[in-house]
């Protein structure tokens, strides 16, 4: 693992470390949002789903706009502005008591996410094809470290006051924004630029990429349950809001434990086959999940889910980087955000509804069915990938030496 980290540039190592601090800041508060809205603001399932969907719309749909901006104008301004917006959003969430202000604060968090991640993933996507999968596996490792530290800090602050995690997260993002001001050299290092309209056209007319977007839709639906269904179930089973944090601590620990496995698998198995296999495995996990009950059983399901997550996320990101056209990487990652936003939005509403159901077969059977749909669509995408090369401009990885 150390050798893999040493194979990437110093700038990449700094950005990857920044991903840890960014995710630790996020997960100090984010795991508690659904529970806080349900138990302290007394929002209904529709209101909770709407607020979390606004976060997804901002964070995952707006990159279709902010991605081309990063490809056209550079990275540092978007990183700094994005972090400032996230800071204001989390602080505003803690100050809000009504639905309208809570929704507005959450939308600010989402917009900040769109700006920051468009810049960072635009840089990650510009790495050589020989190391791009490694970069995203390491990115997943650092994100999972943040997932462990953040909820632990959030649970500690929760013991004093339920709004403290949101204030703390906001302060952390202010510090990160000040640190990112020094990254002006990245705009001089990665000079490939593309007009906004040309970037949109490239993504919108690449049929193989559009098919890939469709194949990822099911994953984002399932991924959203980590933030909605699983925390709500855990809080109910534990009898305390802190149960939500245990879900993310389990997710983070399992993710770190699996990172070496991920690095080995990506050396021998293509990203496309990894994506297909993980969908099948997820369907099996969810079917098995219906055989048991209780908090520890749920955390065990989360751990098994995490094994698939540590493979699927880098696979999706590496495939995106490989399909992206040179100078348009942030735009292609922004398009992935659209699939994430739509799939995750449906997942938010479905997860909020499933959380109040008592029929385990309905809950886990629904998730297994979605995973099988994802496997089918991925199989179609993989078959299309084997067809003769497209006549459209070559993706970035095909032109790298």
Q: What is the mean pLDDT of the chain?
A: 85
Considering the domain boundaries, does residue 401 fall inside one? no
Considering the domain boundaries, does residue 192 fall inside one? no
Instruction: Please say if the pLDDT value at position 286 is more than 80.
Output: yes
Q: Is 395 helix (H, G, I), strand (E, B) or coil?
A: strand
Number of folded domains in the chain? 1
- CA angle at residue 335 from 332 to 339, to 5 degrees? 140
Considering the domain boundaries, does residue 112 fall inside one? yes
Rounded mean pLDDT, 135-143: 85
Considering the domain boundaries, does residue 351 fall inside one? yes
Q: Report d(CA 41, CA 50) in Å as an integer.
A: 14
Taking only the tens place, the pLDDT of each residue in 81-134 is 999 999 999 999 999 888 999 999 999 999 998 899 888 888 888 777 777 778
Considering the domain boundaries, does residue 194 fall inside one? no
Q: Domain holding 363: CATH number? A: 1.20.1250.20
Q: Report d(CA 315, CA 79) in Å as an integer.
A: 24
Considering the domain boundaries, does residue 180 fall inside one? yes
| pTM score over 0.85 | no
Taking only the tens place, the pLDDT of each residue in 188-226 is 666 666 778 888 888 889 999 999 999 999 999 999 999
Identify the pLDDT of residue 189: 67
Considering the domain boundaries, does residue 357 fall inside one? yes
Considering the domain boundaries, does residue 211 fall inside one? yes
Pick from 11, 17, 54, 48: which is nearest to 33 by CA?
Answer: 48
| Rg value, the chain, Cα | 20
Q: Domain span at residue 73?
A: 2-187+199-387
Phi-psi region at 8: left, alpha or beta (left = phi > 0; alpha = psi -120 to 50): beta
Within 13 A of 56's CA, how many CA atoms are on the CB side?
A: 26
**Which range is least confidently modeled, 6-10, 86-90, 112-116, 229-233?**
6-10
pLDDT-derived band at 368 (thresholds 50, 70, 90) equals very high
């Amino acid at each position: 693992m150390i050798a893999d980290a040493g194979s990437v540039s110093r700038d990449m190592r700094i950005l990857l470390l920044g991903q840890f601090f960014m995710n630790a800041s996020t997960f100090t508060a984010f795991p508690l949002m659904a529970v806080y809205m349900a138990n302290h603001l007394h929002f209904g399932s529709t209101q909770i789903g709407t607020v979390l969907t606004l976060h997804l719309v901002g964070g995952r749909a707006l990159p279709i706009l902010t991605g081309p901006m990063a490809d056209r104008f550079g990275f540092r301004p978007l990183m700094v502005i994005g972090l400032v917006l996230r800071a204001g959003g989390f602080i505003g969430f803690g100050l809000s008591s009504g639905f309208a202000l809570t929704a507005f604060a959450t939308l600010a968090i989402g917009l900040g996410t769109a700006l920051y991640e468009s810049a960072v993933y635009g840089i990650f996507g510009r790495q050589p094809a020989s190391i791009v999968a490694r970069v995203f596996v390491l990115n997943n490792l650092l994100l999972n470290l943040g997932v462990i530290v953040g909820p632990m800090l959030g649970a500690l602050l929760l013991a004093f006051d339920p709004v403290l995690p949101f204030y703390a997260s906001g302060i952390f993002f202010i510090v990160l924004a000040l640190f990112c001001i020094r990254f002006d050299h990245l705009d001089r290092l990665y000079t490939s630029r593309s007009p906004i309209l040309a970037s949109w056209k490239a993504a919108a007319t690449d049929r193989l990429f559009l098919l890939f977007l469709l194949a990822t839709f099911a994953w984002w639906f399932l991924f959203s349950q980590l933030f909605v269904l699983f925390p709500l179930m855990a809080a109910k089973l534990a009898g305390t809001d802190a149960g939500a944090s245990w879900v993310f601590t389990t997710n983070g620990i399992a993710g770190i434990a699996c990172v070496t496995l991920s690095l080995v698998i990506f050396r021998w198995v293509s990203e496309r086959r990894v994506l297909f296999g993980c969908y099948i495995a997820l369907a099996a996990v969810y079917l098995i999940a219906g055989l048991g009950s209780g908090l520890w059983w749920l955390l065990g399901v989360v751990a098994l889910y995490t094994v698939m997550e540590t493979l699927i996320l880098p696979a999706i990101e590496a495939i995106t980087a490989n399909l992206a056209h040179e100078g348009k990487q942030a735009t292609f990652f922004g398009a992935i955000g659209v699939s994430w936003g739509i799939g995750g939005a449906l997942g938010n509403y479905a997860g909020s509804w499933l959380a109040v159901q008592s029929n385990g077969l309905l809950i886990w059977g629904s998730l297994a069915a979605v995973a099988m749909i994802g496997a089918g669509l991925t199989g179609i995408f993989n078959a299309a990938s084997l067809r003769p090369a497209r006549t459209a401009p070559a993706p970035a990885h095909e032109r790298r030496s």
